[in-house]
Each structure stands twice: as C-alpha cells, then as structure tokens.
Amino acid sequence: MGNEYILEMKGISKSFSSVKVLHEVDFRIKKGEVHALMGENGAGKSTLIKILTGIYSRDGGTILFDGKEIHPADALEAQKAGISTIYQEISLIGQLSVAENIYIGREIKKHGAIDWKAINEKSRELLAGLGLDIDVTKVLSSYGTAIQQMVAIARSILIDAKLVIMDEATSSLDDDEVKILFNIIRKLKAQGISVLFISHRLPEIFEIADSLTVLKDGSLVGEYRTADLTRKELVSKMIGHDAENIVEVKRTYRKVSGEEYLKVSDIQSGIKLKGLNLTIHRGEIVGLAGLLGAGRTELARVIFGIDRKDKGEIWIDGKPVEFKLPAHAIGHGLAFCSEDRKVEGIIPNLTIAENISIANMKEVSRFGVIHHAKQRAVAKEYIEKIRIKTTGTDQKIKNLSGGNQQKVILARWLSMKPDFIILDEPTRGIDVGAKKEIEDLIREISAEGISVLLISSEFEELIRNCDRVEVLRDGKNAGCLRGEEITENNIMSLIATGKVETGGGQSE
C-alpha cells in the first residue's frame, strides 16, 4: 500500500547528439487513475514514453514503478514489469486469430499441447468483460482498428499490466469507437489499472482524464487536475504563453491582390476530413493551424494526389482538377514538402546534387543523359542561395543535419519552379538559425509569385509569415484570420472553442 503512485519518474533527462530534448522532467501517475500527457510536437512526450518503455535509455533521473526502481533495457522488459503500450499502429499479429493474439506466449496447455478450446473460451470471457462480443476465432485483421486495439488491451490485462499506455490510440477511431474504448478505459480503472492517455483531441482529454501533465519544449509545465482547467487554459499551457505575457510578433501585413489560384471545396476523406474549404491567391502565404489530427496534413495529401478524397472538388486557376498521382499534381505546378523528411523526403544514399535535381531531371539532362556539371551548378546555386551547410555538392544527404536536409528538399521543389508549394511543418526539429533562414525563404518565394500553404504547429511561425491563417478543428474549418487578426490569442481561441473572443474573423 503506502504509495499512492504507480509510477514516479524524477528528473528525467535525455539528449540526442548534444541537443537536450528532456530537461529533468518529473512525471507521476496515481494508481487507478487516467492520466493524460499533453504537449505539442517536440514537447518531449514521445521521448518520455520511450524512456519509460525501455526503447530509449535515459541520461539522468530515476523511474519508480510500483514502488521499485526499474531500468527497462527494452520494451519487453518494461512489459514484464507491468507497463503495456497500445500503439496507434497495432503491434499485434494480424494473421493470427483474436484469441491467439491475446494468449500467444502464454498459451493454456493440456497434456503439453495448446488447448484451443480453453483459450477461445477464456478470450471470449475476457473480451466480454470489456463489453466486447466478437468471434474470437476469426483472424485479427478481419476486424477494424478499434477492435484490434481492444484486443491489445485485453492482452494487457492478461499479462497483468499495472499501467496501460495508450499512445494516440483514438486517432483513427470514429466517435462510436471512441465511446467503446472509453468504456473499456473506465473498466480498467475500476480494476485498479492506471492508464496513461495521449491524444490530441482535447474533448477526449476532458472526458476521460482525471489529471494531466503538460510538457513544453522538453520541460515540465505542470501537473493539473483536469477539472481545474478550462480548455483554453490547457491550450495556452501547451502551445502558447500565458495570456499576460504574449510577445507580439512584429511584422507588416501585405495585401495580396493576386487572382485566385487554388480553390478547394467540401473535401471529405475517411474520418479525418469532414468537409473542408480553402482558397489561396497567387503569391499568398496561407497558414493552416490546428492541433495534430485536425486534418491539416490530410488535406495537403488529398490536394497533392497522394490520398483519395471521398467527396469535394479542387480547382486550379478556375479549372477543376483531379490528381490520381503526385506526378499529376507536379505536372500542374504543385509541390509538397512533407513533414516526414526521413520517410517521404530524402533519398538517403544519394548526394545533395542528386537529391536536388532528381524530381526535375529534364533541367540537367539531355536525352536522358545527366549533365553532371549542370547538376552540380544547380546544387551550388541553391547551396549558396539558401545557405545549405555542406562539404560539397557530392555529400550524401543522410550525413547532413536535419535543417540542411530540409533545405535540400526545399531546393528540390523550388528548382522545379512551382506555382504553389505546400510546406508541412518545414521547420520542425530544426535549429533556430536555420529556421529563420527557411522562414525568410518562404516570404521570398511568395514575393516572386509562388503561392504557399504553410502547415505549422507553431503560432509564431504562422504569425510571422502568413497573410491569412485558416484554422482547422476536427476535420472542419473553425475560422479564418487575416492581417491584424492573426494573433496567438485568436488562433488559440479558434482551436480550443471554434470561436474568436473579440469578434471578427468569420469562417469563409
């Protein structure tokens, strides 16, 4: 008894190649409570979780779990200690039956052989206890994500987990599925199991979490009772500054008079996009604000022809377009700089020069034969123009820092002379100096007439650069801010409540 906390992490620090990502963070969870861990990207949430689950080692600090100090060396060890993680991507085995997924590794045996009857029976009971009545002999992949997650939870219960971590578990669930999941969370709570809940959907936090911890920039902001906070207070703790000391970012607003370039109406796709509208004029920088999962990246992917839309239309220069492949979008003068540089941006083993020119080889080749001098010249031009720090044009891109990799990817797209570029979190994970340079570049290219859609989780970045900011909330337009209206306070209000407090800024 004695201790009311199942988990106490004290003074946790972590650095990656001399960049400190966690500054002596304290984090604790009570027994049998649902605790939310909040913070925007780069706040250090996932690093903290990965230290707890043994995927990363910590540089400093102690972890007390169930009264004992633990040093999990890998995920399996953390799991054996009683920490079970339910990921967004299911970490079960889709080809095996539901029952087997619950019991594999600890099969019930009879005379040395696996007793399927017992396993199926017990699994059925276990799931029934969670309010789920399904055929446990069917393969797991024949069920949707929600049920797969519940099966993962059932497995957690079976392996005597004392703490279940749900990392963005609800992000691909619809409202009904979330309701079922919440019922299960309440049942876990009733059994004395603690739940660490991570979600970007604020209403969910206020519905299910007893208390919450907010991280920002790798430091602890505070630990609160959920009931003591308003939604706006929470948002301001996560991303903003306290209302009193908002630093006003100075800038001059432009009046963009170019004609309408891109128009998107009533885009619906899956459960993420529920009818979004957007217009962008020539040479305009439009910001896309909203919490993760609000539909920002998803909208960009639909526009660029990566994902399909279920409904809605896209016009460019007044003509309807239909992109089935990114290649089609590129052919229409679009460019898309993805937020996931590593997976969707760089070609790691190619050189900087190759990475810059690869999408636009006709510029540096004749009859399919590469003109290397030209290729290097193009690379050199951009290395100088946007100050890519490198040992030369022939350096492999994987050996560059994140900021410089990002600049190379930007150079790739800019070298294609696009009419319109979508920048998804272009400055994430990039040091301050490079960040400013990239922002300068964004304004520069818009002055040259290129339209920009800037997706960013950083308000200051939006305020500094955008002519207009479209705020998304839960897959819908929450409102549009322009010129002087673009303030941290207004963006925050729109994200938190869907309304601007001081009037004005109506949704288009």
Partner 1 sequence: MLKNKLKIGGSWIAILVLIVVPSIIYGDKFFSTTNAFNVLRQMSMIGLISIGMTCVILTAGIDLSVGATVALAAVLSAMLTEKSVFLAIFVPVLAGIFIGAVNGFIIARLKIVPFIATLAVQMAVRGIAYIITDIKSISVSEHAASFAILGRGYLYGIPIPVLILALVLVIMGFVCQRTSFGRSLYAIGGNEDAAKMMGIKVARNKAIAYVLTGAFSGLAGVILCSRLGAGQPLSGTGWEMDAVAAVAIGGTLLSGGVGGVWKTLSGVLITALIGNIINLQGNVNTYVQQIVMGAIVLVVIIIQRRTQMKES
Partner 2 sequence: MNREQLGEISRKYGALIVLILMVVINAIVTPNFLHINTMWNILIQAFSVIVISMGMTLVIATGGIDISVGSTMALASIIFAKLLIEYEMSFGVSLLAALFASCIFGAFNGILIGVFDFQPIVASLILMISGRGIAQQFNNGVVISFYGNKYSAIGTYRIGGVVPIQIVFILLVVLAAAFIVKKTNFGLYVQAIGDNKTASKLMGLRTTLVLVGIYVLCAFLAGFAASLETLRMCSADPNNIGLNVELDCIAAVAIGGTSMSGGRAVVWGTLVGALVMQLITTMMNMNNIFYAYALVIKSVIIIIALYLQKEKES
Q: Could you give the CA distance from residue 402 to residue 19 in angstroms, rounded to a whole number?
A: 12
Both structure tokens of 242: 């306290």
Could you say whether residue 160 binds partner 1 (CB under 8 A)? no
| CB-neighbour burial class of residue 180 (10 A; exposed 0-12, middle 13-18, buried 19+) | middle
358 CB neighbour count, 10 Å cutoff: 14
DSSP summary character for residue 425: S
- Could you tell which of partner 1, partner 2, none binds residue 12, using a CB distance below 5 to 8 A set by kind? none
Q: Biggest alpha carbon distance in the chain?
A: 81
Range in contact with partner 1 (rule: CB under 8 A) among 72-80, 122-130, 308-316, 395-403: 72-80
Per-residue x/- track, 169-188, partner 1 (CB under 8 A): --------------------
Nearer to partner 2, 192 or 348 (CB): 348
Could you say whether residue 321 binds partner 2 (CB under 8 A)? no
443 CB neighbour count, 10 Å cutoff: 16
Range in contact with partner 2 (rule: CB under 8 A) among 104-112, 364-372, 434-442, 484-492: 364-372
Looking at the DSSP assignment, which residues form a beta bridge with residue 86? 166
Both structure tokens of 468: 């207009």
Q: In this chain, which of 168, 177, 284, 354 binds partner 2, going by CB under 8 A?
A: 354
- Could you tell which of partner 1, partner 2, none binds residue 135, using a CB distance below 5 to 8 A set by kind? partner 1
Could you say whether residue 118 binds partner 1 (CB under 8 A)? no
* Residue list 461-500, contact with partner 2 (CB under 8 A): none
Measured CA to CA in angstroms, residue 129 lies from 5, 133, 150, 153, 400 at distances of 26, 9, 11, 12, 52
Provide, rounded to whole angstroms, the least separation between the CB of residue 77 and partner 2. Answer: 21
Could you say whether residue 116 binds partner 1 (CB under 8 A)? yes
Could you say whether residue 114 binds partner 1 (CB under 8 A)? yes
Per-residue x/- track, 157-196, partner 2 (CB under 8 A): ----------------------------------------
φ and ψ at residue 182, rounded to 5 degrees: -65, -35
Does residue 48 contact residue 27 with C-beta atoms inside 8 Å? yes
| Close Cβ partners of 464 (under 8 Å, ≥ 6 residues apart) | 249, 251, 439
Could you say whether residue 267 binds partner 2 (CB under 8 A)? no
- Could you tell which of partner 1, partner 2, none binds residue 343, using a CB distance below 5 to 8 A set by kind? partner 2
Measured CA to CA in angstroms, residue 254 lies from 258, 387, 428, 466 at distances of 11, 26, 26, 9
Could you say whether residue 382 binds partner 2 (CB under 8 A)? no
Could you say whether residue 79 binds partner 1 (CB under 8 A)? yes
Could you say whether residue 91 binds partner 1 (CB under 8 A)? yes
Could you say whether residue 412 binds partner 2 (CB under 8 A)? yes
Q: In what order do the strands lie in the sheet containing 34-38?
A: 83-86, 163-167, 194-198, 34-38, 211-216, 219-225
Residues near partner 2, by CB under 8 A: 304, 306, 325-327, 329-331, 336, 338, 343-350, 354, 358-359, 361, 365, 368-370, 372, 412
Interface with partner 1 by CB under 8 A: which residues? 75-76, 79-80, 91-96, 100, 104-107, 113-114, 116, 135, 138-139, 141-142
